[in-house]
Amino acid sequence: MSDAPTTPSDSEFRDVDETRERFRDAGYLADDRLATTVFLLSRLEKPVLLEGPAGVGKTQLATSLAQVTGRRLIRLQCYEGQDETKALYDWDYGKQMLYTQILREKIGQVVEDAATLSEAVERIADQDSIFFSERFLAARPLLEAITSAEPVVLLIDEVDRADEALEAVLLELLSEFQISIPEIGTVRATHLPYVVLTSNNTRDLSAALKRRCLHLFLDYPEATRELEIIRSKDTGLAEALAVRLVDVVRGLRELDLRKSPSISETIDWARTLAVLGVEELTADVLSSTLSVVVKYERDLDKARKALPGLVDPNATVPDHLGHGHGHGHGHGHGHDADDRAGGPGDPGGPGGPGDPGDGPDGRDVRAAKDRPGRHDAAYAGGGRTSSEGKPAKAVPAGQGARSFAARGARKRPV
């Protein structure tokens, strides 16, 4: 399909500083580590693998790289169950069938003088190359990046979501910038693409894949850099409120949330507050807009409880759980001291040695239950009476024995 790969005659980036400045002009604030990695990507002609939590700017890096270099962006979005026909190439079966119908007469001419069926089949088999050629090859993102007539940026997004089989298919592309097609042969890149792979660390990638790439772990930025990112996006939020908002977001990320707020969601939250005309960040205002950055119901409950402390570290969170009962003491719901067990002066009452301060002493309660004579004569068989007040019928002592003997004498069915 093509000759040996070539690279542009002039360098894409002169040095790390220029790389950082060009990304800044495109609206992407890259730190020294990231700018260095991108510069090496262009000079060493190696793919770069970006790992880290969702929403830290991994995908945006590839988009900005295409923007600052003037290259076309080709994106392969990975997912579970994806096979090579969706990533590398596929045969255009419909087009093959259409050509078969058009060339039916020609096929008849090829086999019309064949002496046997076997000979006819052999003659048709000799024409296989017609239907398995570049004409009928449907290029998917990986093959498209290799065969592009112009340099491109290839983004392989969320490679950790793909199966390991597809990961193995990528090895040839990442190391040799070529793809092997059994029916055609090896296809080599016309221009070496800039390849960016991203991973959210949902699974470990193979050592073979990592060995072929430059590697960089992107984490959430520090407060000063995140504030700078918000400023660069012109959210409309006042500077003082943006500073406090960044602190709140960083506090939310420290919670045990299923999904922490991303940088892009922080920007959305700032724009939301600016549109609402918020002049002061309060727990109520942030709680009403919390769904902009927190996406799961369980996370929302946890974040709402933490917001007052994040907005004001000295704030006290009201107890919404009712009376706030503890363990090991009584209720103490507005009862007078004299109503407690024992009353004033009693060992279990107020001021007594067993006074719990807000309820009866448990020891006195238990002792009262064991007090002799606390039940009447009708309790537990002691002088039982019927509902009419008559003495209950006495049961002879041998009644139980006679009943069991009678049951044992009965014949059981065989």
Residue 368: the pLDDT is 58
Q: Would the pLDDT of 411 be above 90?
A: no
Q: Cα-Cα-Cα-Cα dihedral of 319, 320, 326, 327, to 10°?
A: -140
Cα–Cα distance between 222 and 213 in angstroms, integer?
26
pLDDT given at position 288:
95
209-213, 285-289, 374-378: least confidently modelled range: 374-378
pLDDT value of position 120? 73
- Which of the four pLDDT bands, split at 50, 70 and 90, describes residue 91? confident
With b meaning 16 or more CB within 10 Å and e meaning fewer, what string describes 145-181?
A: bbbbeebbbbbbbbbbbbeeebbebbebbbeebebeb
Which pTM value belongs to this model?
Answer: 0.66
Report how far residue 414's alpha carbon sits from residue 406's, in angstroms, rounded to the nearest whole number. 19
Whose CA is closest to 192, among 44, 294, 321, 50?
Answer: 44
Which band of pLDDT confidence, cut at 50, 70 and 90, is reported for residue 61? very high
pLDDT at position 186 over 90: no
Banded model confidence at residue 190, pLDDT cuts 50, 70, 90: confident
The model's confidence at residue 361, banded by pLDDT at 50, 70 and 90, is low
pLDDT score at 20: 95
Higher pLDDT, 173 or 120: 173
- Cα(354)–Cα(360) distance, integer angstroms: 9
Higher pLDDT, 1 or 147: 147
3-state secondary structure of 76: strand
Strands 214-217 and 89-91: unpaired
Interacting residues of 367 by C-beta distance below 8 A, sequence separation 6+: none
Q: Determine the 3-state secondary structure of 188 from DSSP.
A: strand
Residue 28 pLDDT greater than 90, yes or no: yes
pLDDT for 121 beyond 80:
no
Q: For residue range 279-326, what is the model confidence (pLDDT) as tens digits?
A: 999 999 999 999 999 999 999 999 999 999 999 876 554 444 333 444
